[in-house]
Structure 1
């Protein structure tokens, strides 16, 4: 239903008054007199806004927020209370309610709040559609229909349409950088820079200069003025990955940037204004770091305006089959391999595995399995590094890596010999099948460094450049 509002209140007169005002304003309203009725309506229909009394006859409104959000994750929930205390607002915020209204309700304020809530719901749904779509080349955005991921989509959607500071928390491999990029891509800043800074990869002596820049003569090698990452991200978004690794003195300067929206380059006494949205991420437990005095509590509160907690893969195992399908399709297309299936037993074992490396580990396992597979079906033995068992089977018993590659090559050659491949083209066809993934894998390993890739491959840079153009590898 478009512009739909569910009114859940045990006060018959109030339900009628609210319904009349909203109907007149063009909304479609549905009235529930109890918590049970509210849940029944939400199970049947999707609402844009839900007005939920904190004291229903048969339920506590705050306790209904979680089950309602599971059924209708994008709806904006507005709590109605006759006891407008600070604690009510805090409790509503903790439950991720959109806002709250205090009785007696001012109808003008009601209409204004419902209008903003409905607009936020629409924007959230648009963003959710964008972040969960799959590109034409098979590249995924975010995948997962689990309740845990639905909650994540909802927060990403709301974060994207705001300009607040975001703190993304999650284990390595859960997709923190992807979330940051999606927030930026769907925000009003999307046409401006998205600058990524891995705080854990920069030497402590260089981190301040990297973030805030320096002026000529600031230190021995400062031969010219240089803009830092914050100025490079001006009008856009800066993503501070592993922000928990920042030294304490740099944390203090980052706090000042958040408070004043100004940076001071190393060696300068002048500040420069910056218009930057900050998204930070960490795989550390920052509350522990605060207690150990390795992270500032005031910086934590400044960063943690919009918290997003990414669940580990072991806590959303129902999403694994969808992820497997995505990765097998993507890599088969990327490496120009035939469509490959996966056995039910293998899927079962992959679901049972705990995935300490999360989605990144699953992605790499699928990629490796496709290279090892010489048939049309991924089997448990193709995931030997995951399940800690040797490659086995009729065609791969006790094979060393050279034998495995030989078996894979044999399968491809036989497939081409049985097809209608043009005479004289077999060598070129087989070479392209193996060369393209080889160059892609090595280039990914070097982080796009072509000089390093050419060294590893044992070819000169001109040859590598020609090959990358030939296979359209960016």
Structure 2
């Protein structure tokens, strides 16, 4: 751990959950810090003003109060004191508002205590505050998630909101790349227009697209589909951007499609949007969020419907999930939403685990390989089915192989061998 000697360094913990307050205090005390604690935001502000502590660890929601609303006040009275924000809130707005309000770091609950100690040590060692003073809130509700991958994306977005560098957003089609770019633009350039263009518009309008975005933001989509002419155009126009901020969306393989000079210019910052199938229970959280977004607040989901949402692979990613939720919101029956209504809204009324969808997918794949005169159909099909099956079960189990093996009906050694054979043995909790 990279840290200066913690002896004598004073940390104030602001947390209204008595058990968590005690756990955090003990962990920091064991690490050598002089720890004080309180459940009162007013007391925390007053004690920091008296210089009773060198650093504040603060929860966001404290009773009826949102501590993010007081970061500006704290920054005025103790601009030298780092603040670490911890929160169970699951939107990008929390991470962005925390960092822009002056917080040194944002840690989502649940967090590893070692990560907290490391963050405290790092903050006290550097003595820096990475945020900027800003009042008000950030209304960015569409990026929702508690999964580790989404929380990582939130933290990256928060840090990038402090810069004007070009940012590349990668991930599967429909995974929320453009939504993340719009979120970052609203955070970094509030009130400034964002111009969006795909490959076809770039071919048609050329430099006019860049002129229209002057001084605001420019979101260029599907970079993996840029032909040589579009790449030359973008590379040439990058020198004219001035204070226009550039955002680019693409598949993860985009580097193979672009000339190196262009890739290096657009990927100064990078945000990876994870596939929906790896986000665990975030699928249900997102579904409920989209129901409310599209006007359905009087709902409850039947247990089998909720299980379906977290088990279905959502090949169309977040975009498909939102479309399904929107259909239910505008045309579904009132009250309890059951599995039948969900399947009807999805447009593919097949329960996860039934044979029909899988058989049709296998037939289509085998037919495609036959048209290519492939002589490795058995191996290729088996590998694809195995990979999809194991990835889905591991995601459902949060990466815990022991639990995944139980769902698969395998022992752990057999699962380990299958993972190794598929090149998937890069780690995971036992």
**Structure 2-normalised TM-score?**
0.53
Aligned pair partner of 2:245 in 277, 288, 292? 277
Q: Is the 8 A contact 2:27 2:117 kept in 1?
A: no
Q: What is aligned with 2:17? A: none
Q: What is aligned with 2:223? A: 243
Give the CA deviation at 1:194: 0.8
- Distance verdict in 2 for CA 1:311–1:75, change over 3 Å: farther
Q: What is aligned with 2:309? A: 350
Q: What is aligned with 1:55? A: none
- Aligned-CA RMSD value: 4.5
Whole-angstrom distance in 2 between the partners of 1:345 and 1:363: 19
SS at 2:219's partner residue?
strand
Aligned pair partner of 2:343 in 377, 384, 388? 384
Q: What is aligned with 1:198? A: 198
Post-superposition Cα deviations, 1:431-457, rounded to whole Å, max 9, x if no partner, equal xxxxxxxxxxxxxxxxxxxxxxxxxxx
**Paired residues for 1:256-405 under 5 Å:** 256-258=236-238, 261-262=239-240, 274-287=242-255, 289=256, 294-333=257-296, 339-370=298-329, 373-384=332-343, 386=346, 388-389=348-349
Give the CA deviation at 1:252: 2.9
Q: What is aligned with 1:231? A: 211
Whole-angstrom distance in 1 between the partners of 2:198 and 2:32: 46
SS at 2:131's partner residue?
helix
Aligned pair partner of 1:130 in 129, 133, 138? 138
**Paired residues for 1:57-136 under 5 Å:** 70-71=111-112, 114=127, 117-120=128-131, 130=138, 132=140
Whole-angstrom distance in 2 between the partners of 1:253 and 1:77: 43
Q: What is aligned with 1:84? A: none
Give the CA deviation at 1:370: 4.1
Q: Is the 8 A contact 1:143 1:319 kept in 2?
A: yes
Post-superposition Cα deviations, 1:23-78, rounded to whole Å, max 9, x if no partner, equal 9xxxxxx9999997389x9xx9837468xxxxxxxxxxxxxx99999559999959
SS at 1:118's partner residue?
coil
- Distance verdict in 2 for CA 1:387–1:194, change over 3 Å: closer
Structure 1: state its 5+ residue gaps: 1-5, 24-29, 51-64, 81-97, 102-109, 133-139, 213-227, 263-272, 392-474
SS at 1:332's partner residue?
coil
Give the CA deviation at 1:162: 0.8
Whole-angstrom distance in 1 between the partners of 2:217 and 2:304: 44
Post-superposition Cα deviations, 1:121-147, rounded to whole Å, max 9, x if no partner, equal 877xx89x6255xxxxxxx43212222
Whole-angstrom distance in 2 between the partners of 1:31 and 1:7: 20
SS at 2:151's partner residue?
helix
Structure of larger gyration radius: 1
Structure 2: state its 5+ residue gaps: 13-23, 39-55, 59-81, 85-105, 352-430
Q: Is the 8 A contact 1:152 1:310 kept in 2?
A: yes
Give the CA deviation at 1:316: 1.0
Whole-angstrom distance in 2 between the partners of 1:320 and 1:332: 19
Whole-angstrom distance in 1 between the partners of 2:118 and 2:209: 36
Give the CA deviation at 1:314: 1.0
Q: Is the 8 A contact 2:224 2:254 kept in 1?
A: yes
**Paired residues for 1:405-420 under 5 Å:** none
Q: What is aligned with 1:183? A: 184
Q: Is the 8 A contact 1:332 1:340 kept in 2?
A: no
Q: What is aligned with 1:154? A: 155
- Distance verdict in 2 for CA 1:130–1:146, change over 3 Å: farther
Whole-angstrom distance in 2 between the partners of 1:241 and 1:231: 17
- Distance verdict in 2 for CA 1:175–1:67, change over 3 Å: closer
Aligned length in residues: 276
Whole-angstrom distance in 1 between the partners of 2:225 and 2:244: 21
